[in-house]
Structures are given as structure tokens and as C-alpha cells.
């Protein structure tokens, strides 16, 4: 992701609303995992912006008109860092939004945010209950058709129940406290936050091992 946008904050549209990212650890883990997966998925795409927990201002001149999706993707928006996302300065609203539920937020997600995202033209709106007990099924998707949301039906694929995202071209399903994203053709899961961290750790361990072997041969590895 390139860093070409201004790094100074516009005082009229602050980058924080004073609210925490999450109410509990389940919600936090699910949010961070989804953001990491989506950013990794589109890292090489300069025309796709994937982020989360960022204020989206949707009415110029009224800073109270803002929402902070837990994770979102915009196709056709430049992939550079931002303080906030102002709809009147960007190509369009997000194509994909995921909200992770908590006891204090899930009713707002199901009511106010559904209506808001529908009006903003968000093509797909997904809700996930990481703990269970708030709504069933724990993962629910909505897709925009002629200006109104309709449910995304689940289906069986590779021996498990998934919900297809036409926007992402991926299948989604709940797995413990996270949403798993998988390739429809193969069923292969995209690496989640923990798997990416484990892969980085393994790579670092291999590099350290190789460096130690080189030193035993009297060769100083390059920094």
C-alpha cells in the first residue's frame, strides 16, 4: 500500500470518534483477522482499498454523518494510507462491509447501519457474531439488488456450509471466533492473522538457522 495521501488530520473531520475498536476480545480478534486477511488479499492491487475501523464521512459539511465499519473493501479506490475516508473525495462507497457484533452494537448493526449502507450503495453488507447467541446463523450476508438488500443464501461446498461473496469472489464461513475466507474452486482458506504470524515466525527461524550455519563455515551473513 503506497503512502501518498496527506498525513495531517483535517480538524473538521477527526480520525477518531472516541470509541474503542472492540468491546471484548472475541470481537477484537474477529475484526483484526478480517482486516489482515483482506489487506493481504489486495496488497498488490493499487486500485483496491481494504481497511477497517476507519471513519467514513458520508455528508460533506456535517461531521456527525460518519460511520466506522469494522472491515471494508473498495474496488476502484487508490490503495494509499488515509486519515479518514470522505465519500465526496473518493470514487465511491465501499463495495464490501463486515460488521462484527457485540452485545452493545449488534442491534445498531442490524437496524441503523443496514439502512445506512443500503442508502450509500454498499453492494454487500455482512454481519458476524463471534461469540454466538446474538443472532442465527452467526454469519449473515446481504447483497444489494435494485436498491434493496436481500439475503445471501448459504450453500454446501467442499463438505462445509459457506456463504458466497460475489463482490470478493470468495466464500465466507464462521469458524470459531473469526470469519474464514476461501477460494470457491479449491476450498482453500486464505491465511488468517494467526497463520500469517506463524509463517513470519517460521521464516525468521529459518533465516536465523541459515545464518548460524554460514557462521560455522566462517561466512558472515549479509545484514
- Rounded to two decimals, the pTM is 0.85
Least confident of 4-13, 61-70, 138-147, 197-206: 197-206
First vs last C-alpha separation in the chain: 25
Q: Does a structural domain hold residue 16?
A: no
Considering the domain architecture, whether residues 144 and 210 belong to the same structural domain is answered as no
Q: Does a structural domain hold residue 20?
A: no
Considering the domain architecture, whether residues 200 and 135 belong to the same structural domain is answered as no
Considering the domain architecture, whether residues 202 and 115 belong to the same structural domain is answered as no
Considering the domain architecture, whether residues 182 and 200 belong to the same structural domain is answered as no
Task: Provide the b/e sequence for 82-116 (b: ≥16 CB within 10 Å).
Answer: bbbbbbeebeebbbbbbbbbbeebbeebbeebbeb
Considering the domain architecture, whether residues 144 and 123 belong to the same structural domain is answered as yes
Considering the domain architecture, whether residues 91 and 146 belong to the same structural domain is answered as yes
3-state secondary structure (DSSP) of residue 112: helix
pLDDT tens digits for range 22-66 = 899 999 999 999 999 999 999 999 999 999 999 999 999 999 999
216 vs 91, higher pLDDT: 91
Percent pLDDT > 70 in the chain is 84
Q: Does a structural domain hold residue 199?
A: yes
User: Cα separations (Å) of 108 from 27, 99, 104, 188, 197?
Assistant: 15, 10, 8, 33, 33
Considering the domain architecture, whether residues 76 and 111 belong to the same structural domain is answered as yes
Mean pLDDT of the chain: 90
Q: What is the CATH number of the domain that holds 129?
A: 3.90.1570
Q: Any bridge partners for residue 46, and if so which?
A: none
Position 20 scores a pLDDT of 85
Considering the domain architecture, whether residues 202 and 169 belong to the same structural domain is answered as no
User: Cα separations (Å) of 190 from 41, 44, 78, 112, 140?
Assistant: 8, 15, 23, 31, 19
Q: Does a structural domain hold residue 203?
A: yes
Q: Does a structural domain hold residue 11?
A: no
Considering the domain architecture, whether residues 48 and 71 belong to the same structural domain is answered as yes
Q: Does a structural domain hold residue 14?
A: no
Percent pLDDT > 90 in the chain is 78
pLDDT tens digits for range 189-221 = 999 756 654 445 444 556 566 666 656 767 776
In terms of residue numbers, what domain contains 97? 25-190
Statement: residue 21 has pLDDT above 90: no
Structural domain tally of the chain?
2
Considering the domain architecture, whether residues 109 and 207 belong to the same structural domain is answered as no
Considering the domain architecture, whether residues 199 and 130 belong to the same structural domain is answered as no
Considering the domain architecture, whether residues 131 and 44 belong to the same structural domain is answered as yes
Q: Does a structural domain hold residue 4?
A: no
Least confident of 94-103, 132-141, 142-151, 210-219: 210-219
Amino acid at each position: 500500500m503506497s503512502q501518498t495521501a496527506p498525513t495531517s488530520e483535517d480538524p473538521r473531520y477527526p480520525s477518531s470518534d472516541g470509541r474503542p475498536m472492540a468491546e471484548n476480545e472475541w470481537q477484537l480478534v474477529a475484526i483484526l483477522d478480517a482486516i489482515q486477511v483482506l489487506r493481504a488479499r489486495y496488497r498488490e492491487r493499487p486500485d483496491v482499498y481494504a481497511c477497517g475501523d476507519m471513519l467514513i464521512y458520508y455528508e460533506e459539511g456535517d461531521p456527525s454523518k460518519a460511520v466506522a465499519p469494522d472491515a471494508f473493501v473498495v474496488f476502484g479506490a487508490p490503495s494509499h494510507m488515509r486519515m479518514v475516508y470522505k465519500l465526496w473525495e473518493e470514487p465511491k462507497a465501499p463495495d464490501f462491509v463486515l460488521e462484527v457484533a457485540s452485545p452493545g452494537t449488534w442491534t445498531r448493526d442490524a437496524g441503523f447501519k443496514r439502512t445506512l449502507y443500503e442508502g450509500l450503495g454498499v453492494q454487500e453488507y455482512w454481519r458476524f457474531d463471534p461469540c454466538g447467541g446474538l443472532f442465527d446463523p452467526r454469519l449473515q450476508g446481504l447483497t444489494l439488488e435494485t436498491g434493496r438488500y436481500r439475503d445471501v443464501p448459504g450453500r454446501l461446498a467442499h463438505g462445509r456450509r459457506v456463504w458466497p461473496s460475489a463482490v470478493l469472489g470468495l466464500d465466507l464461513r464462521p469458524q470459531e471466533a473469526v470469519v474464514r475466507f476461501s477460494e470457491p474452486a479449491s476450498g482453500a482458506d486464505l491465511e488468517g492473522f494467526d497463520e500469517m504470524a506463524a509463517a513470519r515466525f517460521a521464516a525468521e527461524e529459518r533465516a536465523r538457522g541459515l545464518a548460524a550455519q554460514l557462521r560455522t563455515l566462517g561466512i558472515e551473513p549479509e545484514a
